[in-house]
Structure 1
Amino acid sequence: MKRPRSYSRVTKQTLSILGKLIKAGRLEWELTAAELSERAGISRKTLRNIENGEAGTEIGIVFEVATLVGVRLFDVDDRVGAMHNAHLEEKLTLLPKRVRPSRQEVDDDF
């Protein structure tokens, strides 16, 4: 049986804000819930969960719905986003591929 997941106050607040931004965008574009859910390829229940700020919906779906109604994610334009992405790729290249505790005991007895 799947255990229920608990989320921090900040996560819940962020989901609520994003959901409200999506709903406001939908209403500004004068889209019904049925129209937006059809465009996004999701059910109306999933859209309702997103707009209500409920956790559990796949993040890619949430981002796609946000994009469809014009909600800017990360508040960057395409050029700045591409530069930021390239910087992060470079940083990830320099970091270790994985982190594991060292199995080798260090001999520090001098």
Structure 2
Amino acid sequence: MARYVHPEAAAAAEVLGQRIRIARQQKGWTAAKLAQLLGVSRPTVTAIETGQLHVAVGTVFSAAALSGVRLFGAEGTELVRLRRVGAETLALMPARVHAEKIEIDDDF
């Protein structure tokens, strides 16, 4: 059974991959060089740069960071701030979300 991929997720992966490839080429790095820095194979870098969704998100984010591609429109201390804000927001939310109870009208 094939997994569902939202069209926006697929488009975002492609855009991020394109940005990583552009940044890598602007640095004068080959795909093999980026692969070496990441500790992955060259085909994995190709998969990242073509927006394939089977690559681990940590590897994709590392490729972006090494290439100089900003993630979430932020970098450095701004990412630290965003992480803290996210943690503070999550701390205020319920730990679990419960499914809505559906009342069955069985009064015929």
State the identity as a percent.
Answer: 32
**What residue number does 1:42 align with?**
40
Structure 2 Cα separation of the partners of residues 23 and 89 of structure 1: 31
Find the aligned partners of 1:18 and 1:4 in 2 and give their Cα distance: 23
Q: 1:60 aligns with which of 58, 61, 64?
A: 58
Q: Cα distance, 1:56 vs. partner? A: 1.0
Which residue is 1:92 aligned to?
90
Structure 2 match to 1:74: 72
Segment of structure 1 superposing worse, 81-90 or 13-22? 81-90
Structure 1, unmatched stretches of 5+, are 104-110
- 2:28 paired residue number: 30
Measured after TM superposition, the shift of residue 75 of structure 1 is 1.3
CA 1:19 to 1:99, structure 2 compared with 1: closer, same or farther past 3 Å?
A: same
Report the Cα offset of residue 69 of structure 1.
0.6
Residues 44 and 95 of structure 1, relative CA distance in 2, 3 Å threshold: same
CA displacement at 1:100 relative to structure 2: 2.5
* 2:3 aligns with one of 5, 27, 35: 5
| TM-score, length basis structure 1 | 0.83
When the two chains are superposed, the root-mean-square deviation of aligned CA atoms in Å is 1.8
**Structure 2 segments unaligned to the other structure (5+ residues):** 102-108
SS in 2 for 1:7: coil
> TM-score normalised to the size of structure 2?
0.84
